[in-house]
């Protein structure tokens, strides 16, 4: 299998794999993490590079593997012109940011944590643009929200960073939920979550009754991620992040994720009045608000944040126009905006880094001290303003042309051109302010540092982006033409329209609009101080954050009231509400059906043994409830309950469940005995008769309801799914033990999830108990001193003799599990009991000297083996965790079955052993250490 057959998942997942390496590398050298991040990005580019020629030839590469085909969730990656454009932006600008951040971060900043976050975010963005399966796309979409939260809050000691990160996560996370809903509706309409089929079903989607809710939900995800009105307020507050983060997230990546989605779904969702009004209106409002507010921001990054909003609104408005040429202009401006805005953010970081301030009221006359940086900033800001011979001018001209074309079909023909010209006027004004107020306009005022040029390599990423602004502005077709053509064709799912990126189109209306914007923009800047005074007097403090904070406060206050009403700091009221609510809903549902409670199916006759076991079960349960304040006694009676349940499984021919029940009972009893060692011997008595009465009524009512519900089900004929598994266990899974085949094959994904939860529980208990010091009780419940010989010789001798036998039984149960009662889970519990018995009988020190294996490694090895069996099946083009079996003829043994499920079962076995032994041994260590701790020492 060649690398090209699975290079796309490598491109998306390699940054994730390198993130922990970057975090680890900084322990040996502070700059090692930067090298890891840079080399990872270069390697990712190298893996992507062989596919570029295929894309430029007009083909689309799709690489997919079955995972959960029953719900349409496959691991699928897609590379076309649009995905290639965004992947190159993510990787190339990401590489420049990595170099830049190496000089920006101070000695007290954690390099490893920063670059680990950067790589995880890079992988998340690559996953979005390369996903073929929409459910997979949503997973990566949510990962960008989480990783951006980590990046924005990188300076955790700053309150504004924490608040900005929480706001970004709340807004984009909510949008992600909406996007998930829209994707589910889209898959329901099309009948598939594969992007290829969705893009080919535009007419079906637009004509469906669910088109409008689908569109609204997807646009909510787009608008929140790309900070479109009315969700624009989070982006400026995310500027509390380090400047390299702002340069990456807010110029080329995160906020472009929503824009990417507009381009990706353009052939499926556009072409309707709903699309034009929703997308166009949001884009226009964001364009105007961002352009206006940017002028009045005194913070450099604040100005750039609102200018980013404005340009994102410009791109969104172009998509709202809905024409093919508008799409060309939108994608062209995506490229241009990434270059000039990325360079401007890095310039702002350089100024802050070398002067100690971003306040434009203090940053004056820096041209004399930082001429190189000043020239870079002037060129990039001129590109942002749309000055001729720079890339921003070309895409702005295309924007004006599309605004004029869109206005031809409206009643107010000049409304759209007038509004976009107004936005362009403010764009020129704030760009001019960025240049004049910072690099000219007098002398610096009370700067914390004496400004000077940064290190040479800190300027090189800015140099590269600014040179691109110049080259694209002078010779656009040479550098941008090919990639723009394939990106537009991929977005349209049709050949790209004829377009020209010529510098000169003659004297026309778009050129006149540009001239007006430049002249009036200069005029607005000259009267800026009057505008500042008017803005501060009339509009100061009006922003979306205030509304967000108010809604957040109201929500938290309401949630607290509800919590205080239902949660009274004890378990009983909460359980009472849950059980009582379930009873009420069950009764109401029952009365909606006009059918008798019991059916006419004949019931089985009860023999004397069954009746006797039922009575024992009832008595043991009642004793457990009645004697619960005597904890050891109640533990013994509840053990009887478990034993009777196991006998019930034996009675009804469920040996696997019986073995599991017995094993779990042994492990649970030992676990609780170790825990009870540190707990009071008695539960405090409850003397509230009102509580007794309430709990009794609820308990009896719940018992009666469950009994009646069981009788209602069992007295009626029903079709069981058991027949399917019985019929398919042997031919489909290669085993006659139906229970085990279900666990390792038919429902293998569920089992994988369960052992992951078990491993996490084990780690949680380990983390909670590691290093904990508790005083051991000196006397038992009768007031007698504890034995000074906790390891009796008879018990030591017996357990050492039985240990090999118990392990042999575990191996036997494991090996036969596919065809006879047994399996990895039961075998793991038996092996755990064997190991635990050694700890209990011989002590922690004696056993640890002979059992040197780290249970963490056993547990993770099990997870690796279990997951690896699923990955191998995917590499062989089968759904995740598909098992295979065959028969071999061995000498002496004869015909013998070999099934891949045994590897998965081995993973289950190792996780069960590792997690169970680790939990119980940690409790045992706690008990062992407690004998040598004095109560006064803890105090």
The 10s digit of each residue's pLDDT in 629-657 is 777 788 888 888 888 888 888 888 888 88
How far is residue 783's CA from residue 781's CA, in Å, rounded to a whole number?
5
First to last CA, the chain: 64
Q: Is 369 helix (H, G, I), strand (E, B) or coil?
A: coil
Cut 0.85: pTM above it: no
Q: Is 687 helix (H, G, I), strand (E, B) or coil?
A: coil
How far is residue 813's CA from residue 820's CA, in Å, rounded to a whole number?
8
What is the model's pLDDT at position 412?
55
Is the per-residue pLDDT at 934 higher than 70?
Answer: no
The 10s digit of each residue's pLDDT in 718-766 is 777 888 888 888 888 888 888 888 888 888 888 999 999 999 988 888 8
What is the model's pLDDT at position 198?
95
Pairing mode, if any, of strands 61-68 and 885-890?
unpaired
Helix 415-439 to helix 273-295 angle (10° resolution) is 30
**Residue 145: which of 219, 221, 215 has the closest Cα?**
221
Q: Of all residues in the chain, what percent carry a pLDDT higher than 90?
A: 42
**Residue 74: which of 196, 172, 176 has the closest Cα?**
196
**Residue 45: which of 97, 100, 91 has the closest Cα?**
91
Is the per-residue pLDDT at 498 higher than 90?
Answer: no
**Residue 189: which of 168, 162, 157, 213 has the closest Cα?**
213
What is the model's pLDDT at position 524?
92
Give start and end residues of each alpha helix (H) in 495-607.
509-526, 528-538, 544-566, 571-591
How far is residue 672's CA from residue 372's CA, in Å, rounded to a whole number?
71
Quote the strand ranges of 591-721, DSSP E.
Answer: none
Helix, strand, coil percent values for the chain (each to nearest 5): 70, 5, 25
What is the model's pLDDT at position 776?
59
Q: What is the mean pLDDT of residues 450-475?
A: 91
What is the model's pLDDT at position 935?
41
The 10s digit of each residue's pLDDT in 829-876 is 889 888 888 877 877 777 777 777 788 889 999 999 999 988 888 888
How far is residue 83's CA from residue 54's CA, in Å, rounded to a whole number?
13
Q: Which residues contact 421 (CB under 8 A, 6 or more apart)?
A: 400, 513, 516, 517
DSSP 895: E
Domain count, the chain: 1
Which region, left, alpha or beta, applies to residue 356 given φ > 0 means left and ψ of -120 to 50 means alpha?
left
Please check whether residue 221 lies inside any domain of the structure: no
Please check whether residue 222 lies inside any domain of the structure: no
**Hey, how many other C-beta atoms are within 10 angstroms of the C-beta on 81?**
25
Is the per-residue pLDDT at 411 higher than 60?
Answer: no
Q: Which two tokens stand for residue 855?
A: 């249970």
How far is residue 764's CA from residue 31's CA, in Å, rounded to a whole number?
33
Which region, left, alpha or beta, applies to residue 493 given φ > 0 means left and ψ of -120 to 50 means alpha?
left
Q: Which two tokens stand for residue 60?
A: 């689309």
Q: Which two tokens stand for residue 23?
A: 């975090």
Task: Please report the DSSP string for 658-714 in residue order.
Answer: HHHHHHHHHHHHHHHHHHHTTS-SBPPP---HHHHHHHHHHHHHHHHHHHHHHHHHH
How far is residue 204's CA from residue 198's CA, in Å, rounded to a whole number?
9
Q: Compute CA distances 72 → 68, 69, 76, 193, whole Å.
A: 6, 5, 11, 6
Please check whether residue 779 lies inside any domain of the structure: no
How far is residue 853's CA from residue 149's CA, in Å, rounded to a whole number?
38
State CA 721 to chain mean position distance.
Answer: 34
Q: What is the mean pLDDT of residues 891-902?
A: 76
**Which of 330-334, 501-505, 713-717 has the weakest average pLDDT?**
501-505
Please check whether residue 475 lies inside any domain of the structure: yes
Contact 403, 410 (CB under 8 A): no
What is the model's pLDDT at position 546?
80
What's the CA angle centered on 928, arms 922 and 930, to 5 degrees? Answer: 105
How far is residue 686's CA from residue 156's CA, in Å, rounded to a whole number?
46
Domain that holds residue 321: 272-526
| pLDDT top residue among 196 and 510 | 196
Q: Which two tokens stand for residue 141?
A: 């979409």
The 10s digit of each residue's pLDDT in 568-626 is 777 777 888 888 888 888 888 777 767 777 777 877 777 888 888 888 888 888 888 77
In angstroms and rounded to an integer, the radius of gyration of the C-alpha atoms of the chain is: 34
Residue 936 banded pLDDT, cuts 50, 70, 90:
very low
Residue burial 910-930, b: 16+ Cβ < 10 Å; e: rest: bbbbbbbbbbbbbbbbbbbeb
Please check whether residue 174 lies inside any domain of the structure: no
Q: Is 66 helix (H, G, I), strand (E, B) or coil?
A: strand
Contact 856, 741 (CB under 8 A): no
Considering the chain, what is the average pLDDT of its residues? 86
Locus of tokens 């208990």: 765
How far is residue 384's CA from residue 553's CA, in Å, rounded to a whole number?
38
Sign of the dihedral through C-alpha 477, 479, 480, 482: positive
The residues that bridge with 359 in the sheet, in sequence order, are 299
Q: Is 231 helix (H, G, I), strand (E, B) or coil?
A: coil
**Hey, how many other C-beta atoms are within 10 angstroms of the C-beta on 820?**
16
The 10s digit of each residue's pLDDT in 308-327 is 999 999 999 999 998 999 99
Please check whether residue 356 lies inside any domain of the structure: yes
How far is residue 376's CA from residue 913's CA, in Å, rounded to a whole number?
62
Q: Which two tokens stand for residue 6?
A: 């699975």
Please check whether residue 338 lies inside any domain of the structure: yes
Three-state secondary structure along 80-148? CHHHHHHHHHHHHHHHHHHHHHHHHCCCCCCHHHHHHHHHHHHHHHHHHHHECEHHHHHHHHHHHHHHH
Q: What is the mean pLDDT of residues 92-111?
A: 92
What's the CA angle centered on 648, arms 644 and 651, to 5 degrees? Answer: 135
Is the per-residue pLDDT at 373 higher than 90?
Answer: yes
Locus of tokens 């009754």: 209
φ/ψ of 719, rounded to 5, equals: -100, 125
Please check whether residue 510 lies inside any domain of the structure: yes
Sign of the dihedral through C-alpha 504, 506, 510, 513: positive
How far is residue 257's CA from residue 260's CA, in Å, rounded to a whole number?
5
Q: What is the mean pLDDT of residues 79-84?
A: 95
What is the model's pLDDT at position 408?
62
How far is residue 897's CA from residue 735's CA, in Å, rounded to a whole number?
9
The 10s digit of each residue's pLDDT in 663-719 is 888 888 887 877 777 777 666 666 667 777 877 888 888 888 888 888 888 888 877
Contact 800, 807 (CB under 8 A): no
**Hey, how many other C-beta atoms are within 10 angstroms of the C-beta on 263?**
23
Q: Which two tokens stand for residue 534?
A: 């008017």
Is the per-residue pLDDT at 178 higher than 50?
Answer: yes
Name the maximum alpha-carbon separation found in the chain.
104
Q: Omega into 251 within 30° of 0, i.e. cis? A: no
């Amino acid at each position: 299998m060649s690398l090209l057959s699975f290079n796309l998942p490598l491109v998306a997942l390699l940054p994730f794999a390198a993130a922990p390496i970057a975090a680890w590398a900084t322990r040996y050298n502070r700059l090692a993490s930067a090298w890891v991040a840079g080399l990872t990005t270069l390697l990712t580019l190298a893996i992507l590079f062989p596919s570029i020629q295929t894309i430029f030839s007009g083909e689309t590469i799709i690489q997919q593997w079955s995972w959960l085909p029953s719900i349409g969730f496959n691991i699928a990656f897609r590379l076309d012109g649009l995905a290639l454009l965004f992947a190159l932006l993510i990787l190339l600008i990401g590489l420049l940011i990595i170099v830049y951040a190496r000089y920006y971060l101070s000695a007290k900043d954690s390099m490893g944590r920063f670059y680990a976050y950067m790589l995880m975010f890079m992988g998340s963005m690559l996953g979005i643009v390369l996903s073929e399966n929409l459910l997979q796309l949503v997973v990566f979409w949510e990962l960008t929200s989480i990783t951006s939260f980590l990046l924005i809050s990188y300076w955790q000691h700053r309150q504004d960073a924490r608040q900005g990160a929480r706001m970004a996560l709340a807004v984009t996370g909510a949008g992600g939920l909406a996007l998930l809903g829209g994707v589910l509706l889209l898959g329901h309409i099309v009948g598939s979550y594969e992007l290829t089929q969705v893009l080919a079903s535009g007419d079906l989607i637009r004509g469906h009754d669910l088109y409008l809710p689908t569109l609204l939900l997807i646009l909510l995800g787009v608008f929140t991620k790309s900070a479109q009105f009315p969700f624009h307020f989070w982006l400026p507050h995310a500027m509390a992040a380090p400047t390299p983060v702002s340069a990456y997230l807010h110029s080329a990546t995160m906020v472009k994720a929503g824009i990417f989605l507009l381009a990706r779904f353009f052939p499926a969702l556009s072409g309707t009045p709903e699309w034009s009004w929703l997308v166009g209106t949001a884009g226009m409002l964001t364009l105007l608000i961002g352009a206006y507010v940017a002028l009045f921001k005194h913070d450099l990054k604040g100005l750039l944040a609102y200018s980013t909003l404005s340009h994102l609104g410009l791109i969104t408005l172009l998509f709202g126009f809905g024409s093919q040429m508008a799409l060309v202009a939108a994608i062209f401006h995506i490229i241009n905006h990434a270059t000039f805005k990325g360079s401007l953010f890095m310039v702002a970081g350089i100024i802050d880094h070398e002067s100690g301030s971003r306040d434009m009221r203090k940053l004056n006359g820096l041209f004399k001290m930082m001429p190189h940086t000043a020239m870079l900033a002037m060129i990039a800001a001129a590109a942002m303003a749309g000055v001729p011979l720079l890339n921003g001018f070309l895409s702005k001209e295309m924007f004006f042309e599309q605004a004029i074309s869109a206005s031809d079909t409206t009643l107010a023909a000049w409304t759209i051109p007038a509004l976009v010209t107004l936005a362009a006027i403010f764009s020129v004004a704030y760009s001019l302010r960025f240049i004049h107020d910072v690099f000219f306009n007098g002398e610096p005022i009370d700067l914390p540092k004496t400004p000077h040029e940064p290190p040479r390599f800190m300027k090189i990423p800015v140099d590269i982006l600014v040179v691109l602004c110049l080259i694209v502005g002078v010779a656009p077709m040479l550098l941008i033409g090919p990639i723009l053509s394939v990106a537009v064709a991929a977005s349209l799912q049709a050949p790209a329209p004829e377009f020209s990126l010529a510098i000169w189109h003659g004297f026309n209306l778009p050129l006149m609009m540009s001239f007006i914007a430049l002249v009036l923009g200069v005029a607005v800047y000259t009267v800026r101080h009057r505008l500042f005074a008017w803005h501060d007097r009339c509009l100061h403090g009006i922003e979306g954050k205030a509304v967000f904070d108010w809604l957040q406060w109201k929500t938290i206050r309401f949630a607290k009231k509800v919590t205080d009403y239902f949660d009274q700091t004890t378990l009983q009221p909460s359980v009472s509400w849950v059980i009582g609510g379930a009873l009420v809903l069950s009764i109401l549902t029952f009365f909606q059906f006009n059918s008798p409670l019991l059916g006419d199916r004949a019931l089985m006759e009860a023999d004397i043994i069954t009746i006797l076991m039922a009575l024992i079960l009832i008595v043991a349960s009642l004793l457990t409830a009645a004697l619960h304040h005597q904890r050891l006694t109640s533990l013994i009676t509840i053990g009887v309950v478990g034993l009777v349940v196991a006998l019930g499984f034996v009675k009804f021919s469920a040996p696997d469940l019986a073995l599991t029940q017995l094993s779990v009972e042994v492990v649970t009893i030992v676990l609780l005995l170790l825990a009870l060692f540190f707990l009071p011997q008695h539960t405090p008595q409850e003397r509230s008769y009102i509580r007794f009465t309430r709990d009794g009524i609820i308990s009896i009512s719940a018992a009666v309801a469950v009994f009646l519900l069981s009788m209602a089900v069992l007295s009626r004929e029903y079709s069981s799914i058991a027949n399917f598994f019985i019929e398919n266990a042997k031919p489909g899974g290669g085993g006659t033990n139906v229970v085990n085949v279900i666990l390792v094959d038919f429902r293998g994904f569920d089992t994988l999830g369960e052992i992951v939860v078990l491993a996490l529980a084990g780690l949680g208990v380990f983390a909670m108990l590691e290093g904990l010091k508790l005083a051991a009780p000196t006397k038992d419940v009768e007031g007698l001193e504890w034995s000074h010989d906790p390891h009796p010789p008879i018990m030591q001798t017996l357990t050492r003799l039985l240990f090999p036998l118990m392990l042999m039984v575990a191996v036997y149960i494991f090996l036969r599990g596919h065809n006879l009662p047994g399996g990895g889970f039961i075998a793991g519990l038996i092996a755990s009991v064997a190991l635990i018995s050694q700890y209990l009988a011989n002590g922690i020190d004696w056993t640890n000297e002979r059992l040197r294996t780290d249970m963490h490694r056993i547990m993770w090895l099990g997870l690796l083996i279990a997951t690896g069996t699923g990955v191998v099946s995917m590499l062989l083009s089968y759904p995740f965790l598909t098992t295979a079996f065959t028969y071999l003829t061995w000498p002496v043994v004869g015909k013998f079955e070999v099934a891949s499920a045994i590897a998965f079962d081995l993973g289950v076995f190792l996780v069960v052993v590792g997690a169970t032994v680790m939990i119980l041994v940690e409790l045992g260590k706690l008990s062992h250490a407690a004998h040598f701790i004095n109560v006064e020492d803890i105090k």
